[in-house]
Amino acid sequence: MDTKRLTASLLLSAVLVCSFASCGESGDAPASNPTTEGVTPESTEAEETQPQDNLPQADYGGYEFRILNNISNFAYTNIGEEGLTGETLDDTIYNRNKTVEEALNITFNIEKKEYSDTSSTIQKVVAAGEDAYDFYTCDLNILLGHAMSGCDVNALGISTLQFDQPWWNWQAINSITVGDAVYGFFGDLHTGYFESHNTLVFNKNILNDLGLSDPYAAVHENKWTLDNMISMMTAAKTDIDGDGKWSVDDRYGFTMFEGNWSLAFITGSGEFLVNKDANNLPVWNGLGERFYSVYDKVVTGVFGEKNNNAQKAKGTLPGSLELYRLMFLYGRSLFLVTQLGVLKDMRAAEFELGVVPAAKYDESQEDYYSLIFQGANAVGIPVTNPDTERTGLVLDYLAAKSTDTVRDVYINQTLDFKYIQDEESQEMLDIILSTGTFDIASVYDWGGIAGQVMNKLNAGKTDIASTIEKISSKVETAMQKTVDTFADLQ
């Protein structure tokens, strides 16, 4: 690799990484030889796991397979321990790894680092031309910064990676690709990706006390829409103590951290800030009429009243969590809008929880869409890797051997029985995970468009059209720079 070019590219990566710093807080498969053709992905029913007996056989002679694993500040991102811990999910991952080690005659050497250290480590080893890791995991927005600087391999060119198999989530992968390349990818091998899916958690006690309709039934009957959800929020919001002041002693329709999660309502309605053309390249033609209709309903019904969100309640509650989480934990809010990984904080809840995907815009919308946080752990392969075909096969084994083990335990035990407490939620979790997608504009935030839309939503401002008009040229220019950078790399 040209050293001067890499040095310059790393500066670009640093800018991209800084602009997408991490915050605390399986869908359609392609054809046998996948390409990244298509526009905004459409969700389908989760496919049944395919038999894994057809995985190619290999013997790598005891090779030490080196992994750099990112440690998240909100999600469970364990990809392997040195031994059994007695924790079901930990031990399932450990046994998964042992199965792969024995099948391919390798040993795993897993190094763990905080996300900021992971970012700088990959930059350093690639700049030095050092063969240090076979693959690594990292926050998606940081990993794409690496990709733009030439640090990562285009995984679409690795024949042993079978992206057409159900253990990879092609819908999520394709939603963030630019052109004919895959640099960051996701599948059943890593729970940090699962935990980054946005969801609506609800308090079943409040639901029953108010005699509200069952959200599960609404999902089954294709009636889980924005109007339905907003009507429930409105019914739940009550000035409990009657003092005319909205405090922590009152009850709210929803609670959420006012950041990226507000966009989940837009994505859930089937609208994306940026779509793609037939060549899988992002295109900017402004925002369409349907987008503005969705935005108007969300901004007025969910965010328009400043006291709708329990995060803005006056006062404090006992506990170390942020107020928005505490308000749900103490039963002061019907809905919690969050990521699946945050459910770990709900262990102490003294009421039953349920989960549903983001609401559709209306009943004419065919599919659900579950927004994935742009800091989700993705898998990347450094360009210093000397044998990407070997790495591809190991990754395919890890993902394939996770579907009936790691994924199953995560959904059916870690979430369904430890945090959520009702078996009906399993089907909802399957829907959420099978309809996961990114909004590519929120990953790259071209021209600040995602930040502007989310800020306007959170503030309950309806004048989004004028804002978009002001930044339109910036969006187009920034987007084109990204397209040109990836084209140059290929």
pLDDT band at 396 (very low <50, low <70, confident <90, very high): very high
Number of H helices, E strands in the chain: 18, 12
Mean pLDDT of 253-258: 90
CA distance 161 to 395: 7
| Average pLDDT over every residue of 40-64 | 68
**Which pLDDT value is given to residue 7?**
37
What is the helix (H) or strand (E) element at residue 103, kind and residue range? helix 88-104
* Domains held by the chain: number: 2
Q: In 3-state terms, the chain is what percent helix, strand and coil (to 5)?
A: 45, 15, 40
Domain containing 138 equals 18-23+32-196+375-421
C-beta separation of 342 from 158 below 8 A? no
379 found inside a domain: yes
* 342 in the same domain as 269: yes
326 has a pLDDT exceeding 70: yes
Residue 138: what are its φ and ψ, rounded to 5°?
Answer: -160, 160
Same structural domain, 176 and 205: no
Question: What pLDDT score was predicted for residue 28?
Answer: 39
Confidence of residue 25 (pLDDT cuts 50, 70, 90): very low
In this structure, are 358 and 304 located in the same domain?
Answer: yes
The DSSP bridge pattern shows strands 436-437 and 370-371 to be: parallel
Residues 120 and 172 in one domain: yes
Global pTM value: 0.86
Predicted local distance difference test score (pLDDT) of residue 406? 94
CB 98 within 8 A of CB 141: no
Beta bridge partners of 199: 338
Quickly state the pLDDT bin for 306 (edges 50, 70, 90). Answer: confident
Q: Are 357 and 199 in contact (CB under 8 A)?
A: yes
Q: Is 281 domain-assigned?
A: yes
d(CA 490, CA 481): 14
Three-state SS letters, 381-416: CECCCCCHHHHHHHHHHHHHCCHHHHHHHHHHHHHH
Instruction: Please tell me the distance from the alpha carbon of residue 228 to that of residue 289, in angstroms, as a whole number.
Output: 22
pLDDT, tens digit, for every residue of 330-364?
999 999 999 998 888 888 888 989 999 999 999 99
Specify the pLDDT at position 261.
82
**Tens digits of per-residue pLDDT, 403-444?**
999 998 988 888 766 777 677 888 898 899 999 999 999 999
Average pLDDT over residues 79-104: 93
Q: Which of 3-12, 75-84, 243-252 has the highest mean pLDDT?
A: 243-252
Give dist(CA 450, CA 455) in Å, integer: 8
Give yes or no: residues 48 and 181 share one domain: yes
Q: What is the CATH number of the domain that holds 161?
A: 3.40.190.10
pLDDT above 70 for 44: no
* Positions of E strands within 262-319: 275-276, 282-283
Within-domain flag for 427: no
